[in-house]
Each structure stands twice: as structure tokens, then as C-alpha cells.
Structure 1
């Protein structure tokens, strides 16, 4: 793309009051952004409203700055991955996004741009999951990617991050992306900052995508909007943990509107992070216990027969039959439990129980939840 074409695409996308839908109509009628800006007002009024015509006649204030910023970003090609800008009609533009009512006019991408999406599944969930929930996201991400699926998520803390990390461990193919992170900021920044390293790792074997211009801040309204891209890229959306009012349920609803499958992992009735999943299951979402359930629901022939939870239960049974399992873990079960309830089960005094819980927590066998609850963790 030459500078004039880039400037025209940026100008069209930055023009206030002209959204993706109106921009698509203009492109369908006139062929290119440059051609749009060469039209008379009368010609433009045949396609869009008078207010939008007037907006198109004005040059956005930040256009010059954005042009320079984007040109520099595209010129800077790291040794490990690539930067690119894909517009509607570009052969690299993901076809799945065209099923959206308002596909992005252009998307910024960073990563392995020569690879493709392949079959993909979106994995979403709470930013504040239980310790077991985050671990579950990692396990499913690894198993699904090992089975040949690309894992799509949003780079957020919690379930998103866990799913990306697991996928990076499980991926082996060099033809498709192991994981795709759809972000709510410009690609010249990483949000949240804690995921700087993770974002760099994703670029090595996957792709980072944003419809927001370089320099865009993590504004609250960006994230619900970007969820439609997550939903569109996946053949289905798997919800690991989600409260009743959460962005993950918005993504699930968007998946339904796109005729995608919705799947959910059940959890403890005592964990608010599971209530959204339970609501989805009551409404007809597929109840998922292992990665094989996902593959079957998506009607994909797995490259490997993977059942994380079956393996985890097998490990748990083996550990329970040996002398290596701490007795307190048997009393805990796998649901969140309070100190008082656990004390009633095991009969230890408070000081002794707290000491043992601390030891198990430091060993990674127990997680501490808000509200004074504890939960046994399944080791990966």
C-alpha cells in the first residue's frame, strides 16, 4: 500500500459519523477510499446521509499524525515477526470477519502474518477467576491447540491469559497460528502491562489483532466492541468462568448471533465466577468437561484424542491411592471451602489448620480465594 492509499484508508476510518457500515457502502459504490474522496457531494449523497457527506469533506485533525505513526510502525519490521495492515478486500483479511454486520474497515496485525487461522475456537472468561479456573483455561488452551485448533482470546488477565499461555505450550504446527489475541488498544501498546511478555510470545507463534488505530488507549467501550471479533474468528466460543454480568456472556451472545456454537464449563455452585456458565448451560450451551467435548461439538476430527479432565481425575485417583497425597486435600475436595467448614471436616485446631493450608498454598496445591475461601488445585 502506497502512502496515498494508506492516507485515504486512515482518513475514511477516522471520519466521525461514518461507521463501518457506511464505509462499506461507499467502497462498494466507488471502489476505493481514494475514489470516495474524489466524489462530488451530490454523488456521495446517493449513498450516505447529508451529515455524513459533510463529515467526509472535513479532514480529521489527527490524520497527519496518524499517517506518520502508521508508516513508521509498518516500516519497523522486527526480526521475529511482522507488522501489517489488512483492509477490506485484502487477501489476508480473515474471511470469518466478513460475517459480521460491521466488519472492521481495517485491522492492524502483528505476528506471524504469513500463517493462517485454520480451525479456531474462542476461549473467554473472568478477569478474576478462581485459581482452578485459570488453571483450567491453560489446560484447555494447551489441549485444544495440540488437537489442531487455534485458540482465540482477548489478552486480558485471568482466563484469557491462561488460554493463550496453554495454546503456546500445546501448539506444534507452523501452518496456522497457535493463538490469536484480539486487543482493545492500538498495537503499539500492550494492555494490561503484565502481559508484555505474553504478547511478545504470541507474536512468535500467533497473531495480535486490533481494529483500533495506533496510540489508542484502553478505553472501556473498546472491549465489548472487540468481543465481536473474538466471537467471529472462532467456530465456537468456550466460556471457562463468568459471572452473570460479564463481557464473556456478551461474547457468547455475539457467537449465537453469528450461528456459532456456545460451550461452557460448569463449576462450583458456591463460586460466583461459575454462575454465568451455569446460566448458559440452562439456556442450551454445550456442557464441557474435557477438550474432546469441544471437538465433538464443533464436529472436528481430532488429530489427537485429548481429555484433560479424564487425565486429571486419573492422576487424582492415583495420588489418592498413594501415601503422597496430603490428608487435608482429601477433606477439601475440589469446590471452594471456608476455613470453618474445613475445620469441621478434618478436626484440626485453627492454628494447625492454617499452618497446613499455608504449606499447601506455597507448594501450589491450594489456592486462596476472596471471602476467606480455599480451593484445591489440580496440578497440570
Structure 2
């Protein structure tokens, strides 16, 4: 396959290539765009040069935009966000004003809208669901708290979500055709996905383990080892280059960060997992306001999620994960379902077992929430010849969408109350 054909295929895979995909992108880009534009033009919450972190839900907007974040967790993100920051400054004439915020929101919106298109492509082209079911699942996913927040938030999670969904769609296309994942795709995915958040790098290598008859042929095993080794070596060299090859800084800083973000909190462990890791990325909970100040003494208010105060959100989370577990059990022999589940399990281990960042786990959704709609899609597929169960699933998802939409709209009104008081 020549370079021109590869480039064409890459564009068709990444961007809308059919009319319904284009309409879907325009719709979400418009809806999210209205929200992001209003926030950028009327409030300073998206970017305020005086506020380093935690203005809302523990996102580090300024730190990420200005430096790419800490090298220990985001090893190559400084290069990525240097481009984003310089582009925004170019449009705003060098000023960090409302135009600067508007460009940042525009780019975040672009990434999230493309992510939703990728979800739609996976449902339509990989699972091959009917159009109405694919649209229903995409609408459900679009109402997640993670997507609403990331649609205007300049953060690593925003772009990680897009790159992860894109890679999972690409790898699913390859596995479905019994083709191997190219070495160049593995290198680029490791750089972009692992470069933005290092723990996600391992997810690039999960689909490779499910290539056809991999462990039946030693030549294929050696080929996988070679592709993986090249990806890892290039990534490590780029990582070391950022820290001037002083690898001791990496270990020291990583240990420091783990100690800082894994300390037990007063909130019960089960409630942190339910309300923040599983639920908080879908369904907004109650909000809590805290007083913060920067290192130079600038005082500001910060907004965080509290645990759920009603039994209904817990039921919502239980139903969604009941559908996910059901899908996994029903599709256990499906290698594409195994890829998605293992990817989710990595984050469960990091945050729920190792407790890293569990007290603010609602910000990590960009790393794994895309798995939820895809596994629900596979559940619909498993019962394609069972009209009664399909109807049950369709009605259940419809009820979930109504509750999710109403809850998150009401919570966003509370978010705007917070902005009107402290961020005009």
C-alpha cells in the first residue's frame, strides 16, 4: 500500500467520512460549542493565569496549558500543549484574554466531538449495530459528565480520550480483518497516548496480544516483540530527552506523586469508588466549594464533587455496570470485548486498588469511560436475534438517558451559579 493510500485511509478513519458521521460531528460540535463559547466569553474559569490548579473538579488547566503538566505523569505533553498554547496566542494576538480561552475551548470541543464520532464508527462499523441503536448509545455517552466537562476543558484527559478511542477503533478494524497492527501505528500511539499520560501507554499493547494465532507461530511472536520494543525504546528516549537523561528524577518524582495522591481519605473506600470513579464520570454528584490560594497568595474558590446523597444515583451506577458485566459475560469469547475490558481493568487497578487519585477519580474519565458505551453496544449485538431482550435493553437505555440528562443539566445550572459568584 502506497503512502498516498495510507494517508487517505488514516483521514477516513480519523475524521467523519460519511454523511451521518458528518452530521453527528456538526451537531455535537455546535451543542458543545455553545456551552464552551458562553463560558469562554463570560467567565475566566477555562483559563486564569493566576490560578494554577483545582479551579473546578481538580483540573489543572493553567499548569497543563503552560507546561504540559508534571513530566512524571505527562512525559511528552509539554510538546503537545506548546503547540496548543502558541496557536491560541497567535489567534488572540498574544493576549490571554477571552479569545485565548475561546480557542482553548474550541480545540477541546473539536477533540470531544471527534471522539463521539469515533464511538459511532465503532458501533456502526465494528459491532455493526442498526443506526437507531448506535445513535441512542452515542447520545447516552455524550451526556456523560466527562464529555460535558472536557468539551471546554484544556486538559490532557481531553485529548487522551480522543487518541484512545481512535486507537481502539483502528485496532478493532485490524483485528476484525485478522491483520496485524502496524509498527508505525504502535509507535505513534505510544507517543501520543503514553506521552499525555504515561500509564495509558500499556493500553497500546493490549490489542496486539489478540492478533490471529499469535502464540501459534514463533515468527509472529518475535514480530510483536520487535514492534513493541521499537515503540518502547523510542518512547523512553523521548521521555529521557525531556529530563536531560536524568532518570533518577523520574523515580523520585513518581514516588512523591504516588505518596501524595494515594493517601486514604475520610470518605469510605466503597463510596469513593462508586461516587467518584464509576459514577462521577457519568453522573454529576453534589458539589462542594473550598477555599484555595496559589503559591503567591492569590485566593480563589474551587469546586469539587461530593459523594452521592441519594439512593437513585447509586441505582443508576449499578444498572449501568450491570449492563457492562452482562455484556462481558455474554461476549466472553469475543477478543474485541476482551481488549476493552482489559483496558478498563488497568484503570480499576490503578485507582481502585492502588488508590492513586481516588479522591478525585471523577477527573480520570477520559482514560476509560469510552469503554462503557462500547460494551453496551456489544450487549445489543449479542441479542440481535432476540427482539424481546433488545426491546428491554432499548427501553432501559432510554430511561437511563432521561435521568442522566436531567441530572446533569440541573448540576450544570449549579455550576453556573458557582461561576456567577466567583468567576465573572
- TM bin (shorter chain): under 0.3
**If you compute each CA radius of gyration, which structure gives the higher value, 1 or 2?**
1
Structure with greater helix percent: 2
- Greater strand share, 1 or 2? 1
Question: If the length of structure 2 is used for normalisation, what is the TM-score?
Answer: 0.24
